[in-house]
Amino acid sequence: MTEEIIISTIKKNGLYFAVGVSNSTNKIVKISLPKSDEEEVISAILKQYPDFIISDEYNDLAWKISDIYEGKEVNIDLEMFDLRTDKSNRELPLKSHFMKIVLLETCKIPHGKVETYKNIAKKIDSQAYRAVGTALAKNPFPLIIPCHRVVKSDYSIGKYGGGSEMKKKLLKNEGVKIKGNNVVKK
């Protein structure tokens, strides 16, 4: 039996934002990066959680996510997230304990600042900086857990689920200086 998810969507400045919340735990299980089509943001959540209902119950949370996209500093309590891990359970948002510690360390990056994959690895006592990148690529809570603030060791932007242009836009919206594909070090 699959877990039922409540999906709330909003439209702001021509983009749709969606959040998926477990109906049984009332915890956030998935956030979709913004898209110009509502069906696409819902579809991003349905890949992992096919049993769902659409509701405006969590629209306030979707509005906060849209504010983050615009560069506003928004605090959302991590207690609201389903941070359980289990490789064998397809429905849980996190697939490993390593992923969880990477995401929690990423939450510590201040608004308007960046960190490198390598430094995140060092901070969690690991040398697996590529694995840090892999964990962030699977971040089920983009924007709120700010994987867009993590860049390569040479301060080039690196990859992002929404594309490098979206990553640059997010960083610029937070006041980070970008030249070409690189963050300008202060």
- In-domain check, residue 127: yes
107 carries an active-site annotation = no
Q: Which domain holds residue 177?
A: 97-181
* Number of domain units in the chain: 2
Q: Which of 66, 127, 136 is nearest to 107 (CA)?
A: 136
- In-domain check, residue 77: no
- In-domain check, residue 111: yes
Residues 169 and 113 in one domain: yes
Residue 90 has a pLDDT of 66
Residue 87 has a pLDDT of 67
Predicted TM-score (pTM) of the model is: 0.92
Query: For residues 93 and 2, which has the higher predicted lDDT (pLDDT)?
Result: 93
- In-domain check, residue 85: no
CATH number (domain holding residue 155): 1.10.10.10
Residues 115 and 176 in one domain: yes
- In-domain check, residue 82: no
The tens digit of pLDDT for each residue in 55-94 reads: 999 999 999 999 999 999 998 888 999 988 876 676 678 8
Catalytic residue among 136, 147, 151, 176: 147
Distance CA 42, CA 46 (A): 6
